[in-house]
Amino acid sequence: MDKSITDFNVRLRTIRIRELIVGIILTAILTGVLAVVFPDVGESDELFFIVFLLIGALLFVWALRGTRGLDQNIENIFEEHTKKEILFVFATNLLFAFFVTFLISSVDLIIGMTDPTWISVWDVDTVDVDSSAVILDTIGAIIFAPIMEELVFRGVLFNRLKIRTGIFPAMIISSFIFAIGHDFGGITSAFIFGVCMCILYLKTDNILIPMSVHFINNVVATLLQISGVDAFLSEFPWFIPFVIITIIGSFYLIRYVIRECKELKKQYS
């Protein structure tokens, strides 16, 4: 990390992977210490996770202290073409995630009908979760996860990998690492989502733009999960038209990725 650089966007690009690893280790140690001092932190997985992410965010604040340009990054989010692209990328990724879920569910159902011994990939043990755990989990998913995941996977990992491997291998590697941290059914959609975040970040050099998409995505996903609308849309008569919509959305998403990658290839060749 080059502390002599005062531009926010440029300073972020200078944070090295080894510095990120040191930061993660330090964050884990500090969180562990707080869990010992404050037993409530250690007893709640959700609270432990939030404290871990909060400390990590504070370390990024410390690393980027004294820089300028964050206010301009915020203004750029509200430019008309940027808002349209943020909403487009969010909507098409959401529809693609639904489409992937439908595909997995269909294959799972077909195998289950032909093989009585088949255990569904959606069979999970259910446990009673209190409201406070749900609230903490929601806070972590909506507020802290978009900030930290974008800083880690795009701000540091993608930036440093592209120097060593080139842009497109860096996209694939960083997006794959990002994806494997998600549930089985969401790995494919998380990978494509990660690629889109790399594209947005590379096009704008503004980490707040992929953060914005990530934030909207997590808010909507959380609301869908809480409300049960996703399950409702999986029932007749809504199932067939909704599948058609997800296919159309997936088509536009893949076309967007291909088009933008071609433009980036021309720009950086």
State the DSSP string of 164-225. HH-HHHHHHHHHHHHHTTS-GGGHHHHHHHHHHHHHHHHHH--THHHHHHHHHHHHHHHHHH
Q: Confirm if 199 and 267 have CB atoms less than 8 A apart.
A: no
**End residue of a domain, out of 11, 33, 68:** 68
Per-residue pLDDT, 224: 85
Whether residue 172 is found in the same domain as residue 230: yes
Whether residue 43 is found in the same domain as residue 123: no
Whether residue 248 is found in the same domain as residue 144: yes
Q: Return the amino acid letter for 89.
A: V
Whether 187 has a pLDDT exceeding 80, the answer reads: yes
Whether residue 35 is found in the same domain as residue 140: no
Domain count of the fold of the chain: 2
Whether 264 has a pLDDT exceeding 70, the answer reads: yes
Whether residue 49 is found in the same domain as residue 82: no
Whether residue 130 is found in the same domain as residue 43: no
239: CB partners within 8 A, 6+ apart:
233
**End residue of a domain, out of 52, 68, 84:** 68
Band of residue 121 on the pLDDT scale cut at 50, 70, 90: low
Whether residue 192 is found in the same domain as residue 60: no
Whether residue 215 is found in the same domain as residue 248: yes
Whether 243 has a pLDDT exceeding 80, the answer reads: yes
Per-residue pLDDT, 123: 56
Whether residue 162 is found in the same domain as residue 36: no
Whether residue 107 is found in the same domain as residue 236: yes
Range of the domain at 52: 1-68
**End residue of a domain, out of 68, 90, 124:** 68
